[in-house]
Amino acid sequence: MLPAAGELAAGDSWGMLACLCAVLWHLPAVPALNRTGDPGPGPSIQKTYDLTRYLEHQLRSLAGTYLNYLGPPFNEPDFNPPRLGAETLPRATVNLDVWRSLNDKLRLTQNYEAYSHLLCYLRGLNRQAATAELRRSLAHFCTSLQGLLGSIAGVMAALGYPLPQPLPGTEPTWAPGPAHSDFLQKMDDFWLLKELQTWLWRSAKDFNRLKKKMQPPAAAVTLHLEAHGF
Amino acid sequence: MAVFSVFQTTFFLALLSLRTLQSEVLSEPLPWAPESLKVSINSTHQCLHLQWSVHNLAYHQELKMVFQIEISRIKTSNVIWVENYSTTVKGNQLLHWSWESQLPLECAKHFIRMRSAVDDATTPEQRFWSNWSSWEEVDVQNSLGHEPLFVFPKDKLVEEGSNVTICYVSRSQQNNISCYLEGVRMQGQQLDPNVSMFNLHNVAFIRETGTNIYCKVDRGDDIKGIVLFVSKILEEPKDFSCETRDFQTLSCTWDPGRDTGLLKQLPQSYTLFESFSGKKTLCKHKGWCNWQVAPESQEMYNFTLTAENYLRKRSVHILFNLTHRVHPMAPFNVLFKDVSVTNATMTWKVHSTGNYYTLLCQVELYGEGKVIQKHNVSVKVNGELVLSGLEPDTEYSAQVRCANANHFWKWSEWTRQNFTTVEAAPSEAPDVWRNVKSVQGYCVVTLFWKPLSRLQANGEILFYNIVVEDLDRPSGLQLLSVPAPANRTELTLDQRAYQIHVTANNSVGTSPASVLVVSGDPGDDAFRPGVRYNFRIYGISTEMVPYLLEKKTGYSQELAPSDNPRVVMSNLTSHSFTLSWKDYSTESQPSFIRGYHVYLKSKAGQCHPGSEKAVLSDDSVCCKYKIDDPKQKMFVVGNLQPESFYEFLVTPYSAVGEGPHGAFTKVTTPDEYSPMLIRIILPMIFCILLIMILCYLKSQWMKEKCYPDIPDPYKSSVLSLIKSKENPRLTIMNIKDCVPDTIEVVNKHEGTGKSPTEPEAAKPTYLYLLPAEESYSGPGPCICFENFTYNQAASDSASCGHVPVPTKAPSQLGLLTSSENLLTALEKNCMNSLEEIPAGESSLNYVSQVASPVSGDKSSLPTNPPQPELCSEYKMQMAIPLGLAAPSSSGSSSLSSITLLDEGEHYH
């Protein structure tokens, strides 16, 4: 099992800055910018990995603010309620063996689908927020998440995988009905943020795995060329 | 009587029939009892809704009835609410009644029943109630579902300060359930084994997302919660007022107070209602709203502003006349015309407010940032104002605002515009100075002038005109124009007299001329260096009367002082001397004297504080004292060494230097002690001389006082010797005890002046005591004895201090005829002597020739006194050792004799 989201504390700005620097560092690796030749999906995966790390830090700050806005017990560090009303949220936690056995396509598809859903929920959260500052933060994060989704789509395209098509009518909606109590709604919000955090952690591992997989050892390449020569 | 009995019978019958009727009514149910009672619930509002009809009420019948409703909780016997509901019932009408429960309805079963009666307001006690309906049970718990835990009420909205009851319903009795309010555990009250309730009193607003309350099973994951939305209490809008600016729109504003918006509740809404027109508008904004003024020129308006949220409504009213609430628009088209040197006409327009209104406009004129004029103008449509008293070529700013003149409400905003008055010719001649130099036979005149001030220039000065007029040749004029920023020019003239006119010019005209004359002879420069000039500057009044403005003193060129002051030295002591130069005149010097330097040369070469070392032109080193005040013309040179040689010099200094370092004055400080000696010795000599003169003049008196010829035994120091030995037997003869028989003084020798140190030459003095008794037979004056008392050196211890000889001794002698007088006198002396005798240490004792039986020791008196002998010679008085004196003295005790001493017979 991947580690579950245990802490949703406010992220430190230094961490965010470090991640931003990392993103900038790897900008030359973006295929659109790198015109020296076709580098393959490697740089794109690296970029996606960096973006997940950056979003993770960003979310840490946002979640802290939002959970304070919901009030206790949701902002208490040890609050761990059952996952009751959040059944429709895509689950990030998965059995470790299952996760290892995932092929690239499935791995990427799961990521893409999860963030598609989470982004949709998150936009609902934004519409609901009462304070302007919180709405601004949420909108900013949604934009970043949209960028991550595009990045994953780019990796999938580079590897030749088709994007999963959403089935008509299965588009998740954010419509808290009258039967849905405000407390359950808050619980859903809590789980949305928590699941998002877990997904960002998982994606970092996913893309790290993909990254390693896509970079064959340099020595092996050399040997292969020598074999051709002979 | 018969009539009475008939009446009585009728009364009893009537009473009986009434009772019968009553009993029938009570025994049977009323025809209009409540029926078809249905109970429904509204969980959101925690309300029970009752619906019923009245049995057997005719279709057209209308009856005023009262329904008594009872509500029980948990069990029917636990009645928690009884209410009488009065209403008018029509036939077949369904009746409704609602009740809001403090406890959420899901928390407990409720039972409701009711009965009815005809409502007779006059006699409410005599209501005839119908039977109770059967209990209607309301049990919401059954419909909750099968979840293990529920918390109620769900997402309630209350105002701050409300009391709220919360409960949980658990499906399992074994579970231990804890409930939390904002993370803090609450203490509840158990209603039944599965239900507990919690009372929250005076709830407060915490956040817009509500107050979280949740319960959870202690050993389980299940968690259930609710959000209690606590709204701030809606405030009454404050400062509600309306005004118009254009008679088309009324703009109403107010202070909305705090926002009561929550996640669950929109912020309060505001509605504006005008009662005369009956119109209403929902305001889109929180603090203001616009209202279209009715075209039919409605003057009076009565507005009601209502603030409303989910829980409460608050309203405020205002009633006003539209014309009293006119806030004019800012004036526009502010222009200045006919701007002259000192005047300008300001015009402006105001927005039309109808022909009936006059506006009051206020104009403020600003010059250099300050208000210099204020005007009030009445305006219908166009405003006009003449501004006067302005300065030429000056920028001004004027602003105008207006208000309703008849009913002042508010000033409009200011409208501001700038203007500049036109230029005028400069009003003052430039202030010109000259400098004349002679260069190679020519006169070079440099002219300087100060730029005119803004008030004098009356515009921008463009150039200066210089007209040089040759005074010798009146036709010879020379014109020179200097562009404006310059403030000087140079003219080269030949050595003739010229008159020079300088004028400043702006675009409008020329200033008055500044005229000065150059004599043409540079040699006549009257000022010489080193000469002090005193100026008196006079102003000339408008009446051409000169008056002194100032006195000035100066030098065309200062020179170093040429003379040193004549210095007088005084108060020369061994350590200091004083220098003064009072007669030195600072005003007759070739420069302004600023002070003095005092130079002091010494062999030691050390300078004391207050002075500094200075090296003179001859390389000699000396100490320099500086005096900053030219009026201080005295200086004390201190800290000098005695018997030392010094040289000093006082020289003045000015801004250009100091006086000549001429000859130093020499001085040697005196000895340190000679003055002191003179001070002491001279008075001493004088004193001694005085004493000597006194002694000489009073020698006789002195002698008498200190060296009397005959000592007084009572004053003798011998007495002290006697006393000192503490021998009581030794005493001085007391005259009192002597009874003289006859005293004959034969001769009296005046002081011989012989010294007692010459006993051989001393002539004894004799006293002859004449016999008083017949028995006493003796050959004539036979008793005589020589007084050798002081022949011995007993007088050595005598001193002037022991000379208490009575100065009136001669007179006492005269009184000797009276024995008593004599005794008294002698006794006095005797007693005094005894008292004065100190305990002596001398080995010598004075032994009186006459032993006194009174003053002497009586025990020592001889039992057989020796028989007196004729012509027996009295023993010579002599100094004897102390121990031997007593027996000898007793030998003559019986003899009454006395030695009378005259002053001439005192020896020393």
- What is the SS3 assignment for B276? coil
Query: Is the bond preceding residue B267 a cis peptide, omega within 30 degrees?
Result: no
Does the pLDDT value for residue B864 go beyond 90? no
Does the pLDDT value for residue A185 go beyond 60? yes
Mean confidence (pLDDT) of chain A = 74
Is the Cβ pair A183, B207 closer than 8 Å? no
Give residue B382's pLDDT: 87
Residue A74: its chain B contacts at CB < 8 A? 212
The residue whose two tokens read 């020289």 is B651
In 3D, which of B308, B232, B304 has the Cα closest to residue B275? B304
Residue B221: its chain A contacts at CB < 8 A? 81-82
Q: Would you say the C-alpha torsion B336, B340, B341, B342 has a positive or negative sign?
A: negative
At B560, give phi and psi (nearest 5°): -70, 150
Q: Out of A115-129, B100-114, B572-586, which region has the weakest mean confidence (pLDDT)?
A: A115-129
Q: What's the pLDDT band for B688 if we cut at 50, 70, 90?
A: very high
In angstroms, how far is CA B36 from the centroid of its own chain? 90
Give residue B191's pLDDT: 85
Give residue B742's pLDDT: 61
Mean confidence (pLDDT) of chain B = 76
Residue A82: its chain B contacts at CB < 8 A? 221-223
Q: What's the pLDDT band for B531 if we cut at 50, 70, 90?
A: confident
Q: Residues for chain B: how many in total?
A: 908
pLDDT in tens, B649-659: 999 999 888 88
Residue A40 at interface with chain B, using a CB cutoff of 8 Å: no
The residue-averaged pLDDT of B678-688 equals 89
CA distance A27 to chain B (A): 41
Of B180, B222, B261, the CB nearest to A73: B180
Residue B154 at interface with chain A, using a CB cutoff of 8 Å: yes
CATH of domain A41-214: 1.20.1250.10
Report the predicted TM-score, pTM, of the whole model to 2 decimal places: 0.53
In 3D, which of B291, B258, B262 has the Cα closest to residue B274? B291
Give residue B267's pLDDT: 81
Q: Out of B330-334, B686-690, B738-742, B815-819, which region has the weakest mean confidence (pLDDT)?
A: B815-819
The residue-averaged pLDDT of B111-125 equals 79
The residue-averaged pLDDT of B475-495 equals 86
At B615, give phi and psi (nearest 5°): -105, 125
Q: What's the pLDDT band for B149 if we cut at 50, 70, 90?
A: confident
Inter-CA distances, A36 with A32, A45, A157, B170, Å = 10, 18, 20, 69
Inter-CA distances, B863 with B698, B854, B866, B892, Å = 55, 16, 9, 12
Is the Cβ pair A130, B264 closer than 8 Å? no
* Contact call for residues B422 and B340 (beta carbons, < 8 A): yes
Is the Cβ pair A73, B206 closer than 8 Å? no
Is the Cβ pair B210, A130 closer than 8 Å? no
Does the pLDDT value for residue B418 go beyond 90? yes
Q: What's the pLDDT band for A2 if we cut at 50, 70, 90?
A: very low
- Which residues 58-77 of A are in CB contact (within 8 Å) with B? 69-74, 76
Is the Cβ pair A182, B264 closer than 8 Å? yes
Q: What's the pLDDT band for A99 if we cut at 50, 70, 90?
A: confident
Q: Cβ–Cβ contacts within 10 Å for residue B133, how many?
A: 20
Give residue B730's pLDDT: 55
Give residue B842's pLDDT: 38
Residue B25 at interface with chain A, using a CB cutoff of 8 Å: no
Of A72, A182, A183, the CB nearest to B183: A72
The residue-averaged pLDDT of A165-173 equals 57
Is the Cβ pair B221, A181 closer than 8 Å? no
Residues 6 or more apart from B236 whose CB is under 8 A from it? B257, B307, B314, B315, B316
Return the amino acid letter for B36: S
DSSP B84-101: EEEEEEETTPPEEEEEE-
The residue-averaged pLDDT of B534-544 equals 84
Does the pLDDT value for residue B504 go beyond 90? yes
Give residue B733's pLDDT: 62
Q: Residues for chain A: how many in total?
A: 230
Q: Which residues pair with B304 in a beta bridge?
A: B273, B317
CA distance B157 to chain A (A): 12
Residue A130 at interface with chain B, using a CB cutoff of 8 Å: yes
Residue B160 at interface with chain A, using a CB cutoff of 8 Å: no
Q: What's the pLDDT band for B112 if we cut at 50, 70, 90?
A: very high
Of B180, B206, B209, the CB nearest to A130: B209
Give residue A133's pLDDT: 85
Could you tell me the residue ranges of all domains in chain A? 41-214
The residue whose two tokens read 């050792």 is B881
The residue-averaged pLDDT of A121-146 equals 85
Q: What is the 3-state secondary structure (H, E, C) of B516-527?
A: EEECCCHHHCCC
A vs B, Cβ pairs < 8 A, gives 56
| Structure token digits, residue A156 | 């999938």
Residue A78 at interface with chain B, using a CB cutoff of 8 Å: no
Residue A183: its chain B contacts at CB < 8 A? 151, 155, 212, 214, 224-227
Is the Cβ pair B221, A182 closer than 8 Å? no
Does the pLDDT value for residue B65 go beyond 60? yes
Is the Cβ pair B214, A74 closer than 8 Å? no
- Which residues 183-212 of B are in CB contact (within 8 Å) with A? 183, 206-212
pLDDT in tens, B327-350: 989 999 999 999 999 999 999 998
Give residue B861's pLDDT: 40
pLDDT in tens, B588-622: 889 999 999 999 988 877 888 888 888 888 888 88
Of A70, A72, A181, the CB nearest to B155: A181
Of B221, B227, B261, the CB nearest to A186: B227
Is the Cβ pair B227, A181 closer than 8 Å? yes
Does the pLDDT value for residue B750 go beyond 80? no
pLDDT in tens, B664-676: 888 888 887 777 7
Give the residue, B852 or B318, on which the prediction is more confident: B318
Is the Cβ pair A183, B208 closer than 8 Å? no
In angstroms, how far is CA A47 from the centroid of its own chain? 13
Question: How much of chain B, in percent, has pLDDT values that exceed 90?
Answer: 22
Residue A133 at interface with chain B, using a CB cutoff of 8 Å: no
Q: What's the pLDDT band for B516 if we cut at 50, 70, 90?
A: confident
The residue-averaged pLDDT of B250-279 equals 86
Residue A81 at interface with chain B, using a CB cutoff of 8 Å: yes
The residue-averaged pLDDT of B826-835 equals 42
pLDDT in tens, B765-820: 444 444 444 444 444 444 444 444 444 444 444 333 343 444 344 434 333 344 44
The ipTM is 0.72
pLDDT in tens, A36-79: 445 567 678 888 888 899 999 989 888 998 999 888 888 888 88
Is the Cβ pair A72, B212 closer than 8 Å? yes
Which of A9-18, A43-52, A81-90, A138-147 shows the highest mean pLDDT? A138-147
* Contact call for residues B531 and B445 (beta carbons, < 8 A): no
